[in-house]
Amino acid sequence: MRSPARLRVAAAACPLLVAACLLLISGCSGGSAAPTRGKPDLAGFLRLPVATPTACNAKQAGATVGRRSPWVGTVDVSVFLKTTAAPDVVRGVGDQLRALPPVATVFFESAAQAYAEFQRLYTCSADIPAKAVPASYRLVLHPLTRTERDDLVTQIRKLNGVESVSCDPSSPCLPS
């Protein structure tokens, strides 16, 4: 059984680790990408073994294990959904994203797939509950300017069911 102090440390670290994970797995590649890039091999990535150790002591932070998310270099914008979003809301967000003219391709990653990806990217993943890692939509955009991309991101952030939106760190999204 875990001590109360260890649980407090793990709980305090959870939001930071999840935020770091979302940034890493966002896998964006900028706002003016060509929509002809290949499909990411998420299924192949999920066949990799889970990063070890899966459980760590309270003083050890999770770390990447030298792997790269299959989304890196494949998508321009990652749209993370609220973990409480009902299935019809999740489908509705996908429908709305597919209808946006700048969007060339939409990939969906379920919460279960996202958590499985998280487990393969990070050690100490057992300390993070599966429900803390959200489902997401990954977007490939038609060529557009950064301003047009930022306007699109602002529009996406307002959709019901969207928790956050991530762009390539070399061309970050405007703050929400």
Model confidence pLDDT, tens digit, residues 80-137: 999 999 999 999 999 999 999 999 999 999 999 999 888 888 777 777 888 989 999 9
Q: pLDDT band at residue 167, thresholds of 50, 70 and 90?
A: confident
pTM over 0.75: no
Residue with more model confidence, 28 or 133: 133
**Helices and strands in the chain, H and E counts:** 5, 4
Q: Which residues contact 33 (CB under 8 A, 6 or more apart)?
A: 76, 140, 141, 143
Residue with more model confidence, 3 or 135: 135
Domains annotated for the chain, with CATH where assigned, are 4-57+68-167 (3.30.70.3040)
Model confidence pLDDT, tens digit, residues 54-81: 777 677 677 677 777 777 778 889 999 9
Is the pLDDT score of 21 beyond 80?
A: no
